[in-house]
Amino acid sequence: MSEVLVLAQRDGDEIRRATAETVALARAFGPPALVVAGPWNDGVARSAAAAGPEKVYALSGLPDDSVSALAVAESLADLAARSVAVLLPSTREGKEVAAHLAARLESGVVTDAVRLEPDAEGRPVATQSVFAGTFTVRSRVTRGVPVVTVKPGAAEPGPATEPVVVPLAATPSPVATAVRVLDRSVRPKGDRPQLTEAEIVVSGGRGTAGDFSAVEALADALGAAVGASRAAVDSGWYPHAYQVGQTGVTVSPQVYLACGISGAIQHLAGMQTAKTIVAVNKDPEAPIMAVADFAVVGDLHAVLPKATEEIVARRR
């Protein structure tokens, strides 16, 4: 039976939980084969096996000094053409690989799937959340090998396996190596949960006035991830990787706490599918209030520390 290619999202030597979820999802369509790009060692091998695939393609030889999405796509094109589907992470890189790959395969692509299910013929049907989370769309690839980018939370990871490891060597074309990387800074793996995978997200906006300490303290008391609005990111108060919204990441946690965030449509686009929304805002008329399940009208610099204290007190 043809395999389902899954492109791994790695964090150093660790394969992300979202990848294990996608591997589990892939089983509905065929035996999952995980593609792990970059340096291969025992640590990565263990983490790849923990993700539960039947096979692992260890893709090496990617040029370190060029933008790599195209080189990854070129390396996978032949394998992908023989697969039943290709599933990639719904990240910036994942979508770039998806676009390059689909262009080569003459396949359709569905992005940002929050669910993926087989239809009566076993072909994948994706569920997407669109127009700032106001619509649920079901769509499919109708031509070529389906290429789908999958968001975190689409399935529960399965058990670990003992996959066969097949080495794969990248042979990038001149176009793929044309974009030279002069320097690269990899984001350090923080101590907090991953924003896109966290059960609880505490976000700060312009209302923090640049002081995220109360937001971070509450997040840590809750074991939550920290997010930020674009206003906070634009002001240089928090790194772009933490931006929630249309041009940042989309999160769908159990609880989203918006602190000093007005709730512009572009921000809502990134968090409106959260199970529960809690807002802390000085302005009772802020748009975020209209979507919050619970809201405190007040100064976040007063409210958040009290909430943090209360959580710590309840734990004792």
Rounded Cα distance between 182 and 194, Å, is 28
CA 108 from chain center: how many Å? Answer: 21
- Nearest to other proteins of 31, 127 (CB atom): 127
**Which residues bind to ligand FAD, rule: CB under 6 A?**
205-207, 229-232, 243-248, 260-262, 264, 266-267, 270, 280-283, 286, 299-301
Contact of residue 53 among ligand FAD, other proteins, none (CB under 5-8 Å per partner type): none
- Nearest to other proteins of 168, 269 (CB atom): 269
- Nearest to ligand FAD of 128, 262 (CB atom): 262
Question: Which uninterrupted H or E stretch holds 88?
Answer: strand 85-89
Contact of residue 301 among other proteins, ligand FAD, none (CB under 5-8 Å per partner type): ligand FAD
Rounded Cα distance between 132 and 211, Å, is 28
Q: Which two tokens stand for residue 12?
A: 């150093």
* Min CB(300)–ligand FAD separation in Å: 4
- Nearest to ligand FAD of 14, 299 (CB atom): 299
Answer yes or no: are the C-beta atoms of 5 and 35 closer than 8 Å. yes
Alpha-carbon Rg for the chain, nearest whole angstrom, is 21
Pick from 182, 183, 188, 233: which is nearest to 206 by CA? 233
At position 29, the amino acid (one-letter code) is: F
* Min CB(3)–other proteins separation in Å: 21
* Min CB(139)–other proteins separation in Å: 5
Rounded Cα distance between 96 and 231, Å, is 26
* Min CB(45)–other proteins separation in Å: 20
CB neighbours (10 Å) of residue 305?
Answer: 14
* Min CB(246)–ligand FAD separation in Å: 4
- Nearest to ligand FAD of 70, 195 (CB atom): 195
Question: 191: Cβ–Cβ under 8 A, 6 or more apart, which residues?
Answer: none
Contact of residue 67 among other proteins, ligand FAD, none (CB under 5-8 Å per partner type): other proteins
Contact of residue 205 among other proteins, ligand FAD, none (CB under 5-8 Å per partner type): ligand FAD
DSSP state letter for 244: B
Residue with tokens 């263990």: 46
- Nearest to other proteins of 162, 285 (CB atom): 285
Contact of residue 23 among other proteins, ligand FAD, none (CB under 5-8 Å per partner type): none
Residue with tokens 């089983």: 27
Contact of residue 7 among ligand FAD, other proteins, none (CB under 5-8 Å per partner type): none
